Structure 1
Amino acid sequence: MIKENEKNLTRRQAFGLAAGAVAGGAALAAPAVAQSSEPVIEWRMVTSWPKNLPGPGMSAQRICDRINMMSNGRMRVRLFAAGELVPAFEVFDAVSSGTAQMGHSAAMYWAGKMPASVFFTTVPFGLLPHEHTAWIDQLGGQQLWDELYAPFGVKPFMGGNTGPTMAGWYREPVETLDDLKGRKLRMAGLGGEVMRKLGVTPVNIPASEIFTSLQTHVVDGVEFLGPWSDSALGFQKLVKYYYGPGFNKPNGTGEGIVNAVALEGLPLDLQAVVENACRVEADLALSEANAQNAASLKVLQTEHSVEIREFPEDVLSTLKIKSEEVLDVYTQKDKATRNIYESYIQAKEALSDWSALSLGKNISTRA
């Protein structure tokens, strides 16, 4: 796994890089360090998000802060927002090469490099957040994720979750399938490919550039996350039709990725600190997203006159059919993609009956 990347960052170099004297840039707040002859280990985290963006940007910062605190000051991780050190969609390459020891992003952004990576964020009509976590932790997903990233010298962790998304903001209502034809829509992941089958032109734009693209009519509509993150980016100032459900991203797992050589160069207790800082964030971020999305949805409706709409049934059913067609073709790209898809579907089938029973409609009102 590591051999391919040793030319970029050997174990000794990784530890030396990490353990160099504190210099160059403000260090994040950390507890006082006990008297020790060991130098503080300095890491850099690059992200795909604007700094402190509600949702994923905050998750990235908390992971850094948590490592600083849990290590009792033995480690400091400095966060670089999208574009500060590397562009938003070059986070994986930066971590793989050792330009940064950590990254925070979404696995679906690496589909051009590894088609199977999309499954570790979400796919249309796929696993819900609690089901996705069960797949990763209990049903073999983490092993497959590790194997997929291993040739690049990268170790992945779940490092946040923005929950299910909305399907996007539109300038004009979507009442029929014909209303989608010819539109240019910012939609990342396989959802964009599904929309392409309905005559939409999907465009993948970094979070920091979405508002301007919508404002200048580069795109006719945008899809990003849920009400909390979307309203923070200001989409409600430009358009008023907000559609759901988010068929394209029923889950929102964010990833914390680590350069494998740098990770293995840490003492075992600090390796555990890095892993658990990501794990805690996966849980905290999802609960935060659920609470904040609910509150933000009300604000959008009551204070910004946003119309919350659902896709008509015929549009939604067509989207599901087209999603199956896209996945059938997509999963033939290579053996790894097919194997991961089969594991993903097996998990969905294993979990679906319990999800349907335990999360049935109106369960809170049952006697």
Structure 2
Amino acid sequence: MKRRQFLTSAAVGGAATALATPALAQSAIEMNIVSTWPRDFPGLGTSAQRLAERIGELTEGRIAVNYFAAGERVGAFDSFDEVASGNSQAYIGADYYWKGKHAGWSPFTAIPMGLTYTEMDAWMKFGGGQELYEKLGDEFGVIGYPAGNTGVQMGGWFNKEIESADDLRGLKMRIPGLGGDVMAKLGASPVSLPGGQIYENLVSGAIDATEWVGPWNDFFLKFYEAAQYYYWPGFHEPGAQLALGMNKSWWSSVPTLDQEIIKAACAEENAVSMAEANYNNGTYLNRLIDEYGVELREFNDDVYEAFGSASAEVIEEARDHSALAAEIFDSHLEARASVGAWTNLSDAPYVVKRNRILDL
């Protein structure tokens, strides 16, 4: 897959992909899905397309699915309004893109110093996350379900070493969501750009740095051609959850069986996409280092402490948006404390000790 092929597809648009597999009966329910990702974009885009195809397949054509990548029906950041208005029936994307509409959307993708994938999954299924997600969606006439995750994201691509928080001052960095607000508090200038526009802005110098996802996705955007240093670990999206959001009026018209099938397809893709990202991130990290000479850099403790302090301020400000935002953030942070305490005794120390002993 050449970079130009999947980056330009969002701009040129094109016909929707019809994804229901059997011959459709006249009574089939139409489901137009708009996405925030370019067509055929490895990872995020292909996951969205796989979910759309799966819904048509599992419903045996009772749901007639048409998938539109970013720019083919509406722009990436117009997806929410397109679905809330009823012009399309569903979107696939990252809900923190809608934080300007309500601060409560951010925790359902990721917040700085927030939940990892396993912690997020626990919160959504057993900690009240899904119920709060639906409560927020009610205010906009949408309903959504987790439908993907990137896992812990990398800290980003920089053209200079970041040895202290002062090195972030004046930096123009593509970083959306509350992570961008954290960078602003540290003196950087955050910029929001859809994936298809990041490379050209980084090459031209319009931005000085960028985060995207991880080695797999970043490899195909060829950021290594424009930035020398690849920093870890990211603080801003420790387990970025993706979603299928649907117009609630349309959802209520879908038969119960097919609602359950759609929810099952989302749960399946949520797990599959995370496994796929984990495997490919390891593979492509090696390629970035061995084939392209990318230099890995770890954020030192002083920089990370600055991230932590600014994150606490940003979260408190977002929490103060409204009573519902406070309820959502408090629930998210409670899960961070309770599930995180177990993570601190289980996955985290085990991996550190295992890799040290095996010299991995």
Q: TM-score, normalised by structure 2?
A: 0.91
Verify: 1:41 aligned to 2:29, yes or no: yes
Asked which structure has the greater CA Rg, the reply is 1
Percentage of identical aligned residues: 37
What is the CA-CA distance between 1:137 and the residue it aligns to?
0.6
| Amino acid in structure 2 at the alignment position of 1:32 | P
CA–CA separation in structure 2 for the residues paired with 1:86 and 1:314: 42
Query: Deviation digits for residues 315-335 of structure 1, max 9, x if unmatched?
Result: 111111111122122211111
Q: Which amino acid aligns with 1:324?
A: A
Check whether the contact 2:20–2:65 (CA below 8 A) recurs between aligned residues. no
Amino acid at match of 2:352: N
1:277-336 superposed Cα distances (whole Å, 9 cap, x missing partner): 111110100011100111111100001111111112211111111111221222111111
* Partner Cα distance (1:263, 1:130) in 2: 28
In 2, the alpha carbon distance for the partners of 1:332 and 1:75 equals 40
User: 1:173 aligns to what?
Assistant: 161
Alignment match, 1:297: 285
Displacement of 1:163 in angstroms is 1.0
For the 8 Å contact 2:216–2:285, the answer to whether it is kept is yes
Alignment coverage as a number of residue pairs: 342
Paired residues for 1:82-93 under 5 Å: 82-93=70-81
Kindly provide the amino acid, as one letter, of the partner of residue 89 in structure 1: F
Query: Is 2:239 the counterpart of 1:247?
Result: no
2:245: which partner in 1? 257
- Counterpart-to-counterpart distance in 2, 1:92 and 1:121: 14
Shift of 1:267: 1.6
User: For residue 140 of structure 1, what is the aligned residue in structure 2?
Assistant: 128
Counterpart position of 1:225: 213
Aligned pairs for 1:319-330 (under 5 A) are 319-330=307-318
Distance, in Å, in 2 between the alignment partners of 1:279 and 1:198 is: 37
1:344 and 2:326 equivalent? no
1:75 deviates by 2.0
Distance 1:69 1:167 in 2: 37
Residue 227 of structure 1 deviates from its aligned partner by: 0.9
- Which residue is equivalent to 2:11? none
Is residue 103–residue 256 contact of structure 1 (8 Å, CA) maintained in 2? Answer: yes
Are the equivalent residues in 2 in contact too, given 1:64–1:76 (CA < 8 A)? Answer: no
For the 8 Å contact 2:19–2:65, the answer to whether it is kept is no
Give me the CA root mean square deviation. 1.8
Question: Match of 1:327, as an amino acid?
Answer: I
**Which residue among 14, 25, 28 is the counterpart of 2:18?**
28
The CA distance in 2 between the partners of 1:27 and 1:238, in whole Å, is 33
After superposition, the C-alpha distances for 1:48-103 in whole angstroms (9 at most, x for unaligned) are 11112122211210111101110112222111111111111111111111111110
Q: CA deviation at 1:139?
A: 0.7
Question: Matched residue of 2:344: which SS?
Answer: helix
Partner of 1:190: 178
Give unmatched runs, 5+ long, in structure 1.
1-23
Q: CA deviation at 1:363?
A: 4.6
Counterpart of 1:163 in structure 2 is 151
